[in-house]
Amino acid sequence: MGPITLRTLLAALLSLAALPLAAAPITDVSNNYVYTTVDMPGAGSITAVNGLNDFGRFVGVYDDAAGNYHAFQGRIGAATLVKVDYPGAVQTFLISIANDGAMAGTWFDTGGAQHGFVLRNGRYTSIDIPQAAAKTKAKFELGVGLGSSVYGLNTLGDVVGQYADKRSVGHGFRLRSGIVETIDAPDAGTGPGFDLGGTNVVRISEDGTMAGYYQQLKPALRIGFGRHGFVLRGGRFEIVDAPQAVFTQVLGLSNDGCVTGVYATLASLTLGRGFVYCGGRYSRILHPDGFTSTSVASRNVSGVLSGEYAGADNRTHGFIAIPK
């Protein structure tokens, strides 16, 4: 996240003046779970479990020896992970799986442009938002080249994600019945790329509630400061900032309204901490083998978590965490 000067430190503290969803302390509940590490056989150095549905099915990504990403799906309790690649894609990311088994993600073509997709009943459907630039040079969540990326879906057919316009500004979106709704957080920055502005909608629940994060553009701040999570319910944005955080990124939203993600504090900028916000309370999650960071990407209604952690072996591992 870059070196900290006194000026950027003070500015980061001022950035926390955005009204949070709740001014609550955070409790460490890491020991309340039984953890299972998920590593795709043959993966290079990264495996991550990005999405989990209410029936124990999950999806994720891994890298190969050449550094390209591929997707996989699995089921809690099953030994086999199944590779998933969008036909003809150079890279494939799976981010979400709905309760009907439909999956959502993003694929890269040979020119480096990103496209969203949904995989439902064995059929791939590519998604390109009409307002999107075909390809941008700025860096976004999945890398350079954002045109349209899909992150979340529900069983009603709603799809959410992010697209970049011709100025390389990222906008969140919801696609419902063929109609695109652009979603911009009220104080999101308008600079190009991942670190200078934009809004990303990453999840949509069965009742239509959406969640994601945005970058608040403040020229005095270093990369990372000004990142806030949000929940969008009934047309109203609610800011999600983990207690004492200068960086909060919402990654998951369960069908019972619980939010998950990762945050960092000024006291430990290089240590990403997973969190769950549920029932008005924040809880911290640190994987017992997490050497530098833990990220909680998803939660289901049974309280099972999925995500990734950085191990002492300098590799990123996926995980499933089941409440004791």
DSSP 179-214: EEEEE--TT--BSSSTTSB-EEEEEE-TTS-EEEEE
Q: What are the tens digits of pLDDT across the range 83-99? A: 999 999 999 999 999 99
pLDDT at site 292: 84
Confidence category of residue 258, pLDDT binned at 50, 70, 90: very high
pLDDT at 19: 39
pLDDT at 121 over 80: yes
**What is the pLDDT, as a whole number, of residue 225?**
67
| % of the chain at pLDDT higher than 90 | 72
Q: State the pLDDT at residue 243.
A: 92
Q: Which pLDDT does position 3 carry in this prediction? A: 27
Q: How many CA atoms lie within 13 A of 92 on its CB side?
A: 22
Neighbours of 176 (CB within 10 A): 15
What's the mean pLDDT when you consider all of the chain? 88
> In the predicted model, is pLDDT for residue 34 greater than 60?
yes
Among the residue ranges 15-29, 80-94, 234-248, the one predicted with the least confidence is 15-29
Q: What is the pLDDT of residue 9?
A: 27
Question: pLDDT tens across 154-211, in order?
Answer: 999 999 999 999 888 999 999 999 999 999 999 898 877 776 679 999 999 999 999 9
Average of per-residue pLDDT across 70-93? 96
Which one is predicted more confidently, 291 or 153? 153
Distance of CA 85 to the CA centre of its chain: 20
Distance from C-alpha of 161 to C-alpha of 199, rounded to nearest angstrom: 9
pTM for this predicted structure: 0.89
**pLDDT higher for 224 or 202?**
202
Question: At a CB cut-off of 8 Å and minimum separation 6, what does 36 contact?
Answer: 76, 319, 320, 321, 322
Q: Which residue has the higher pLDDT, 266 or 120?
A: 120
Q: Are 282 and 27 in contact (CB under 8 A)?
A: yes
> Distance (Å, rounded) from C-alpha 53 to C-alpha 88?
27
Q: What is the mean pLDDT of residues 253-268?
A: 92
Classify 56 in phi/psi space as left (phi over 0), alpha (psi -120 to 50) or beta.
left
- Lowest model confidence (mean pLDDT) among 108-117, 180-189, 265-274: 265-274
Question: How distant is the alpha carbon of residue 192 from its chain centre?
Answer: 19
Q: Looking at this protein, which amino acid is placed at residue 223?
A: I
User: Which pLDDT value is given to residue 218?
Assistant: 60
- 38 pLDDT higher than 60: yes
Residues ≥6 apart with Cβ < 8 Å to 45: 63, 314, 315, 316
Which pLDDT belongs to residue 24? Answer: 57
Residue reference for tokens 């307002």: 131
Region 73-77: what's the mean pLDDT?
Answer: 97
